[in-house]
A and B are shown apart, each in its own frame.
Chain A
């Protein structure tokens, strides 16, 4: 059987080779690799589409091996594995401990803060932060609820996506 993967790799030398290594090692065939370095995400990573072939067990082993090496799998056979959730906070972001804000979100299983953008205002109490969260698919509701909770506890105005 065949499996279509979309991976997201850092744009540095050697990344693609590292991602392909477990495929060959575990006995799957690579059918196609589409790798366009000039198409980048907002975070500067490069999406790579890979089609591999093998029996079911082999393909599953490949998936786990990629995960073990912390290679980001965006989609498997067109189904998103990760979703991105963006939120903006307004409030006394810095004094309310940026690290603990991020930690509280990272504490959720399968969720991590991928980007944190802070914009100070003339009044520090009204600073704004944009958080980009990557979460396993299906976790959106849980994450949005958590952001609201964090916002409430730190008196931030939370602006979630619709």
Chain B
């Protein structure tokens, strides 16, 4: 299976690393052979029909920061869309940084790959939260597969889990903590009694929160994810603009104190149910399934037949997120066997 990796940041590197670690194992276990035929970043492209070496890709990126410095097969300045038509591939792995304004350029790249009859796997929330119907529709019309497990909850299985393991159930609602950064901040505030500002600063120093944490703390990131879940597993037709969003920047130690006295925690919860689509700080009973700590993600699916089902997992991380992409790739490969 020939793979085109677009984007060589944390997730892209995770995917290449996972190929390096798991390559032999996948060959033995499934007879599945992944070949990376192209990797792009902002500097250009490394491209080879016969496959690039995962370890050499990682070393090159580590050393120079540019994938186009890959010996022999690196092409400086060759942009992602140009590269798409320069090499034969089976599946595009789209892992460029997310854009929540218009989902570009990832959206165009994915649509192009689909119309070229290529399968697409992505971790990119922006295009999914903004133009879910268009992407899924285009994949369907071109009879290709489009998978995006890594876009929600990182390593936590949820989309494929709902589609496959719960395929006989109707999902009536989803409640979840879909952002690790805010969960870390709120968990620390509850433990230490510290202020929001102080805790955010600590999280930034630890690399858990970004320098510009707006998308995380104001709830936009979680909102993108609940839109993806609402569309993909509840068959809703919603977009980012339909979500009522309140972040955590106004949460005070006093409010956490009052909640704790009654056995509650304050968590940033994303909810999709019949008449509600929102991200807001909510009270969660201590010890209940949603009361997970640190950077963990969690989601409870309320189903008609199986009642409540809760999944927990690491919501971010390079290799962790790549594990979800790998499972999408394997499932595409299996379906074609």
A residues with CB within 8 A of B: 42, 86-88, 90, 117, 119-121, 126-130, 157-162
Residues of B within 8 A of A159 (CB): 255, 259, 266, 280-283
Residues of A within 8 A of B253 (CB): 121
Residues of B within 8 A of A160 (CB): 280, 282-283
Given A90-B251, A121-B252, verify A157-B257 contact (CB < 8 Å): no
Residues of A within 8 A of B290 (CB): 162
Contact B250 A88 (CB under 8 A): no
5 contacts between A and B (CB under 8 A): A90-B251, A119-B257, A157-B250, A162-B269, A162-B283
Task: Tell me, yes or no, whether B284 is within 8 Å of chain A by CB.
Answer: yes
Apart from A86-B283, A90-B252, A157-B246: 12 A-B pairs, beta carbons within 8 A: A42-B262, A87-B283, A88-B258, A119-B254, A128-B255, A128-B258, A129-B258, A130-B261, A157-B281, A160-B280, A161-B284, A162-B290
Contact B250 A161 (CB under 8 A): no
Contact B246 A117 (CB under 8 A): no
Contact A161 B282 (CB under 8 A): yes
| Nearest chain A CB to B247 CB, angstrom units | 9
CA distance A88 to B253 in the complex (A): 12
Contact A88 B175 (CB under 8 A): no
Residues of B within 8 A of A157 (CB): 246, 250-251, 281
Residues of A within 8 A of B175 (CB): 162
CA distance A42 to B264 in the complex (A): 14
Contact A162 B262 (CB under 8 A): no
> Chain B: interface residue count, which band?
20 to 34
A-B contact count (CB 8 A): 65
Given A42-B262, A162-B269, verify A121-B282 contact (CB < 8 Å): no
CA distance A128 to B254 in the complex (A): 6
| Nearest chain A CB to B283 CB, angstrom units | 5
Contact B283 A120 (CB under 8 A): no
98-134 of chain B: CB within 8 A of chain A: none
Residue of B nearest to A42 (CB): B262
Residue of B nearest to A91 (CB): B250
Given A119-B257, A162-B269, verify A90-B250 contact (CB < 8 Å): yes
Contact A162 B280 (CB under 8 A): no
Contact B283 A126 (CB under 8 A): no
CA distance A130 to B254 in the complex (A): 10
Residues of A within 8 A of B269 (CB): 162
CA distance A43 to B283 in the complex (A): 19
Residues of A within 8 A of B283 (CB): 86-88, 159-162
CA distance A72 to B251 in the complex (A): 34
Residue of A nearest to B300 (CB): A162
Contact A117 B258 (CB under 8 A): yes
Given A159-B266, A159-B283, A160-B282, verify A130-B252 contact (CB < 8 Å): no
Residue of B nearest to A90 (CB): B255
Contact A126 B258 (CB under 8 A): no
| Nearest chain A CB to B99 CB, angstrom units | 28
258-317 of chain B: CB within 8 A of chain A: 258-259, 261-262, 264, 266, 269, 271, 280-284, 290
Contact B284 A88 (CB under 8 A): no
CA distance A120 to B255 in the complex (A): 10
CA distance A120 to B259 in the complex (A): 14
Q: Which residue, of A86, A127, A157, has the highest number of chain B Cβ atoms within 10 A?
A: A157
CA distance A88 to B283 in the complex (A): 8
Residues of A within 8 A of B271 (CB): 162
Contact B254 A162 (CB under 8 A): no
Residues of B within 8 A of A86 (CB): 262, 264, 283
Residues of A within 8 A of B259 (CB): 88, 130, 159
Contact A128 B252 (CB under 8 A): yes
CA distance A42 to B283 in the complex (A): 17
Residue of A nearest to B267 (CB): A162
